[in-house]
Structure 1
């Protein structure tokens, strides 16, 4: 034993010196940094310290081997019967005679037996180190419904009221739409039994007013469109009359000027005595008529221009009135729309409040956790009344994984799950052969940690049939299966606190 300790101490000194020499040379050569060198030295020294701790317990092993050797010397020999019926063993001897008789009847066995035992144990231990060991990641979780629509639904009171009648009991199976209980109204503004009918009539009246205002707006809009279409032709006709009167006035004005020149010529001829006075008077009358016609036509042209401007102003005023009437009709229609919408909303609210008096089952399931209320008791808004859970639904496990193990997880990985309340016999290193554990696989790994606890959510779905009596809320223990490694590698990893290997998949 002392030789073993001496060899181990010498090996440690030699290994440390070699490590310092090689590490110093690598640091000087800048092949590794000083931090990497220190880390490597710490790892190897930790391995040596753990190995020394293992060797320090060899004393007990040597004691066991010595005891085995003595037993072998005592009982394992050839050709000698040491049973209670051996007459030589039953003879009374004393002192040296007894020793002589024992040495003759119990010859020494082979001295190589202890070494055989040591070799057998060493080979067994060495072979054990190469047994396959499945690395795992442990998590805890809770069973929950896979479909969110099938999870337990707690029903709460939608409004304040008074409990009237229960129609179910705890444990009763119900169908979606079944009436579970009836509540009475306690609000003063909702006590009128004909409140809903009155609100419906009010809604119909406001909708009729909206329809009338809408029709009025459409009629005014049509009048406005027709007035705009008729305005252009009327203005065009008036404009044409102005142009005709203007042309006529120009013609009469030219005739007036011609008659005036003829009058002046007649005056000159009368003074020379070329024409008679009667001819001169005739020319004067012609000039007066031409002058009167020109002035009359000018007045007519001026009047037609005034009529055109008045017509244009009248048409524009009519359009403005129609636009104002249309805007008023549209405003009245919008007000009627708002009133009808408010009436419709109020009617729907009252109808919903009336329907809330009848608490119905949202889905098929079983009634549990009835509120401890008797008929006549007051129920407050949002107070929990009862819970409906599905009779059976597909379940999954919602587990929480530590941040250090997240790099080892991915969708599709295999896992073994144990549920509270079900007998289980786990086998470390070989979880697939454990008893009472069920196969599962990872469906989803959260990309962010949860606010509560800082873990990452992991969803596992069954890979085989899970217990049919499994219920939501059952605690579960998840063992995620990673890579298969030799036992010596797993011991070395555990001693050095290194993470597990990621699965080969």
Structure 2
């Protein structure tokens, strides 16, 4: 068996403790330890401080209204620059002449083009008036022919009635003569037999024969009158048809002339309208020889240089910017952050050239930044993966600097909700999007109105 003693040797331990007690801790080490402990405590406390989440974006200064943004003044016609009436940086009122153009197209070289076109218009108007007067005369002529046709038809019908009356009278006379002739013929042949028998004298027989021949002559004459009356009736009927046909032909010809003249009037009126349109175009083109300012503002840049330079239709000549535009910031944010932004969100903006110290999570301690409000959010992407928002000055914050110029660069932070600092660090390390617990009051009101 092993012989192990139950007593322990404490001399080595006591020696070590004595050695440690003899050593001294440096003052710098103590100070560093205190500093590190203090920093750790402060950092630990800061982890529970509120941090306002935000969405970052870059952009530039622009005008909120499209009409107040820099615009190019274009020439409506092709021409040659004759004279400049402004210089760059000059303020111009709306309607002021910027430059004067001269004509370069041979169709408009005539200096009396407007006067000659006006003379053509007056001649065309007089031609139309003459044709309208002709239409009036043709209408009167047609009316007169219609009235004359009625008179002639009435006369022809009266003649037809007279012919019928005469036919009736002649037919009665003819019938009467036939009866007389038959009686005289009977008397003649009876007395002829008596004469042949010697019962009457020759003188008596010759007297009867003379009466018989006279009756025969009267019968033939009555028959001829009867036939003439028939012919007159037929002629009267034919005359009615002829009169109607004659005047219908004259009326139809007059109506044809009337329609042709009316067509000429319509064609002349179309030509007149074309000439008036051409005259108006000439007038407008003449007015475009003077290029005027579309709005009051400053001449930014002349895009065309010297006198005598030829420009094309629709070519930009000079840029003008509005005098007092309503400034806004055109900011671009990532597509993943757009659903978290609503109209009315507060924005902190840092302008290029203005010194600033920005604590994005603590906007209240930021220096040199300016307040804004989200007014417009584009419904389609403006850049690949980015959407544009328009930010206007916040009326509750300090006014934006008067020295701002359009096109200046900006940095912006769209302010969201408050979260602990440890949560924001955790979110950033994991790449999660910001949290959104409450929408601005304006956005809530908009949603309620839509519902």
Asked if 2 retains the 8 angstrom alpha-carbon contact of 1:255 and 1:290, the reply is: no
- Give the secondary structure class of the aligned counterpart of 2:413: strand
Per-residue CA deviations over 1:102-143 (Å, capped at 9, x if unaligned) read 69xx9xx9xxx99xx69x957973x64554333333333333
CA 1:455–1:268 in structure 2 vs 1: closer, same or farther (change >3 Å)?
farther
Structure 2: distance between partners of 1:485 and 1:246: 125
Quote the offset at 1:328 in angstroms: 2.9
Structure 1: distance between partners of 2:364 and 2:91: 39
Structure-to-structure mapping, 1:478-493, within 5 angstroms: 478-493=412-427
- Give the secondary structure class of the aligned counterpart of 1:447: coil
CA 1:243–1:421 in structure 2 vs 1: closer, same or farther (change >3 Å)?
farther
Structure 2: distance between partners of 1:232 and 1:411: 86
- Give the secondary structure class of the aligned counterpart of 1:411: coil
Structure 2: distance between partners of 1:338 and 1:272: 93
Q: TM-score, normalised by structure 2?
A: 0.67
Aligned residues: CA RMSD: 4.7
Asked if 2 retains the 8 angstrom alpha-carbon contact of 1:210 and 1:336, the reply is: yes
Tell me whether 1:179 sits opposite 2:97 in the alignment: yes
Partner of residue 82, structure 2: 164
- Give the secondary structure class of the aligned counterpart of 2:317: strand
Partner of residue 259, structure 2: 327
Asked if 2 retains the 8 angstrom alpha-carbon contact of 1:483 and 1:501, the reply is: yes
Structure 2: distance between partners of 1:173 and 1:159: 25
- Give the secondary structure class of the aligned counterpart of 1:164: strand
Partner of residue 337, structure 1: 269
CA 1:386–1:266 in structure 2 vs 1: closer, same or farther (change >3 Å)?
same
Structure-to-structure mapping, 1:135-174, within 5 angstroms: 135-174=53-92
CA 1:307–1:320 in structure 2 vs 1: closer, same or farther (change >3 Å)?
same
Structure 1: distance between partners of 2:216 and 2:91: 125
Partner of residue 381, structure 1: 312
Partner of residue 459, structure 1: 390
CA 1:283–1:386 in structure 2 vs 1: closer, same or farther (change >3 Å)?
same
Pairing partner for 2:118 from 183, 200, 222? 200
- Give the secondary structure class of the aligned counterpart of 2:119: helix
Asked if 1 retains the 8 angstrom alpha-carbon contact of 2:188 and 2:212, the reply is: no
- Give the secondary structure class of the aligned counterpart of 2:371: strand
- Give the secondary structure class of the aligned counterpart of 2:250: helix
Quote the offset at 1:176 in angstroms: 2.0
Quote the offset at 1:343 in angstroms: 3.7
Pairing partner for 1:416 from 325, 330, 348? 348
Asked if 2 retains the 8 angstrom alpha-carbon contact of 1:245 and 1:300, the reply is: no
Structure 1: distance between partners of 2:79 and 2:343: 49
CA 1:162–1:140 in structure 2 vs 1: closer, same or farther (change >3 Å)?
same
Structure 2: distance between partners of 1:492 and 1:144: 36
- Give the secondary structure class of the aligned counterpart of 1:210: helix
Asked if 1 retains the 8 angstrom alpha-carbon contact of 2:138 and 2:258, the reply is: yes
Greater gyration radius: 2
Task: Give the unaligned 5+ runs of structure 2.
Answer: 1-17, 191-207, 445-451
Quote the offset at 1:247 in angstroms: 6.4
CA 1:413–1:264 in structure 2 vs 1: closer, same or farther (change >3 Å)?
farther
Quote the offset at 1:284 in angstroms: 7.8
Partner of residue 198, structure 2: none
Quote the offset at 1:288 in angstroms: 6.6
CA 1:247–1:457 in structure 2 vs 1: closer, same or farther (change >3 Å)?
farther
- Give the secondary structure class of the aligned counterpart of 1:212: helix
Structure-to-structure mapping, 1:229-240, within 5 angstroms: 230=147, 233=150, 237=154
